Structure 1
Amino acid sequence: MSDAVFPFSAVLGQDELKRCLALCAVDPGIAGVLAIGDRGTAKTTTVRGLGALLRTAGVLMPIAELPLGASEDRVLGSLDVDRALRGEVAFAPGVLGQAHGGFLYIDEVNLLDDLLVDVLLDVAASGVNRVERDGISHVHPARFVLVGSGNPEEGELRPQLEDRFGLATAVTTITDVDVRLEIVRRRLRFDRDPDAFVAAARESELRLGERIVRARDLLDEVAVSERILRQIVDVCVESGAIGHRADLVMTRTALAGAAFAGRAEVTGADVAMAAVPALRHRTPRQPAERAAAPAARVRLATARVLGLRAA
């Protein structure tokens, strides 16, 4: 049985999610992506595809998946049983250790046990995992890009955890018939011959991987003017975004966007691109307001600040 992964570049119809993930690969300091939306919209497929793409490009950012229902030991790490049977006391890393330097992906993140949410909040804030149990006292770095997906109909996400995701994207069912047809065709081709499908996508995967590598190299050289910084802050204020993390994440996203485009300076287009994913989950909904209202409010604020026509 083939262990081929559906190529990231071959995923159709989820452009915002793909762009947000790619920008986090350019700058892990953006701190992650929350993909909330309909079931069966390729959220997990897209994340796994990113992992394969980065490996192909030589970018050392592993993707560790946190299984639903995972125990605290599985997440934090615990006593290495095999070595304990030989009389040794040693630490066996958990998912947090496996994710260090890469991505931690949590499907159904809104169903995560409260205890594990508290653990993630602590480790995400400190970048360190401390384990004191089973006769073990162990500390190891655990810095990762947090990626979560889920369906809002199945439960709300705790606000403290939601804010830890740098970016948020709404993943919805595609209604364009032609796009849906092509999605079915691609999936059927992949299922029939995964290796051939991956081989056919190799050139597009390499191009995208090289673009991410170039952007990572360029990132530290990208400049952002005082005028652009003021625009970013104005958009945050006009949108009603809560907390100062909004301004920082939006700035980092705009910088990564400029680098991804191969430019050495942030422009208004980068600000417009960064605004909605950086602010939609930091702009509170009013009672009886539609789920899409915060994003619409951010777009209007961005248009006013940048002098654009609202989309």
Structure 2
Amino acid sequence: MKPVYFQIPKTSGETIRVQHEVQPHFYDNLHFHPEVQIMLICEGSGTQFIGDSIGSFTSGDLLLLGPNLPHVFRNDKRYYEQDSVLKAENISVFFQVESFGEHFLSLPEAYPVHKLLLYSKRGIRIKGETKSRMTALTQQMLRLEGFERIIQLFTILHLLSLSRELEPLSSVGFDGPQNESDSKKINDVFTYIMNNFSEEVKLQEAASIANMSVNAFCRYFKQHTRKTFSNFLNEIRIGHACRLLIEDKWNVRETAFDCGFDNISYFNRQFKNITSYTPSEYVKLHREKYSAPLPLV
């Protein structure tokens, strides 16, 4: 998808921008920026697009997004309802690698951080004990200023560079487009999909929104997302299904229909293709993970 360039608001007196936002929903246009971003999702849920990966996000997620990596966090439809009282809250830390100086990352002592920042170009989800520790450090950034903020950032980067609890999101070698000219077109298609995935989504309608023939649109879409239109749609639907099953809102059949599938067998096949589990296996694994007793200390 063609992202739009996003200018991070920053004063001339700060090298590191720390931003705390509370909104009805997150900024929902696919975008990129030259800054590295550490993003803590304090509150909110929905679908995230990072590079060529599609997944779900929820409160408590912590991510490291490398420079010029296309991304968007689209809240669930209920956040856009007129009478919604839901909110989306995040803390983000922005910085440019160039701010460290030309030779800093070439130092032997800085190699792990240098390697981490190269790795961040795929987008990284931070997990486990590392996430718990990094969440506290990221929250503290709001209260720090000047050189203390720089010290804290290096502490975060150092600890992340030593962690094994980092999950890459985009595929190896992903190099997303960075042309603004088509951003409105592709974001209109994206909005159409997100607003209608629980119902019938028509390829012809999506192509019409992009002002293209169906064949041209299919080639364009595959070129910029590395996915066919149907695969892209199924990943969004299955991501939504995962949240519904975890929240225990409906049984498998009801979940399939709510996510836009009118054939339960096809839903089960797509669910296993995308998650590697059947719906019942997925729910069981999630419950085992979060119901296990805490270790004694």
Taking structure 1 as the reference length, the TM-score comes to: 0.30
Which structure shows the bigger proportion of residues in helix conformation?
1
Taking structure 2 as the reference length, the TM-score comes to: 0.31
